[in-house]
Every structure is written in C-alpha cells, then in structure tokens.
Structure 1
C-alpha cells in the first residue's frame, strides 16, 4: 500500500522520497489538503503499469469515443476557471 505525504513535506524531502521509491520499493501519494495529487512509483513500476494497461486503455478510448459528445453542466466552465472554450463545429 502507498503512503501519503503532504506536498509541502514532499517538497522538503524529495531526495529521501526518491530513495524510498527506487531502493525501498515503496510507493507514495503526494496530497494537497488531504486530496491525492500525484503518485510516486519507480520507473520499473510505471513501465509495468503502462504495458499492462495499454490494451485496456485502447478499449476504453474506443468505447468512450463511440458515445458521442456530452453536454456539460451549466457553470462548470467557471467552476474550473477555464478561460477559453473551443468553438463547436456549427459556430465556426
């Protein structure tokens, strides 16, 4: 199981975290305000994850792209602070 560490602490202890992941075989999750931001895994773990999920990822992409466009909820653009919006095909 991965350990959790706040981003401020991770920033201060980066070299130690890298050693724990690479040489200790540990995995870590960097958090901000208790929410996960990124995972720390060794390059070997990442390679295993990517090779195992390559085929599954292609299936998900083909399934999602067959669904078609979905309307976003009102106010989501402002909620996430988006400054630009891609024009729809009929608005060009």
Structure 2
C-alpha cells in the first residue's frame, strides 16, 4: 500500500519523500483535493513496471498477429453467418 500525501505538503517534504522511496522502499501517492495526482516510485520499481508493460505488449501483439493468419472456410462463413471477408491488397491481384 502506498503512502498518500497532499501536494502542498509534498512540496515542503520532497527530500524526505525521496528518501522514503529510495531507502525505505515505499511508494508515495501525491494527491490534490483527495484524488491521486502522481506517484513517486524508485527507479528500480519504474524499470520493473516498464519491463512488465513491454512483455504484456509483446504478448498482445503476438496474439493479435496470429488471428491474421487464419482464414475461414465457406462452410464456416455460412454456419456463423459471416457476411464480409477481409482481403489484403496484395491478395486481390
């Protein structure tokens, strides 16, 4: 769980907050009017978040690209009521 602090207080305590994040391993959420505004996380946490995001993005791209290689048969189109079919421009010649 992250430590929450209003933005006005965070301005006055920035050095202390940085130390809490870097050396204490805490995550700090800066709020404005009670709503989360920004988060302070360590550089190591940021690297982990970015790497996790890239891995998830690659998995989505891989999953989506596998759909493009499938082709429905005329029987399947009739069975499922498909009325349209995508053709790549290079396949139309």
Please tell me the TM-score bracket, short chain as reference. 0.5 to 0.7
Equivalent pairs counted in the alignment come to 62
Shift of 1:57: 3.7
The structure that is helix-richer by fraction is 2
Q: Which residue of 1 aligns with 2:41?
A: 41
Between the aligned partners of 2:34 and 2:44, the Cα distance in structure 1 is: 27
Give runs of ≥4 in structure 1 deviating > 4 Å: none
SS of residue paired to 2:24: coil
Q: Let me know the Cα RMSD of the aligned residues.
A: 1.9
TM-score normalised to structure 2 length: 0.61
TM-score normalised to structure 1 length: 0.61
1:18 aligns with 2:18: yes
Shift of 1:56: 2.0
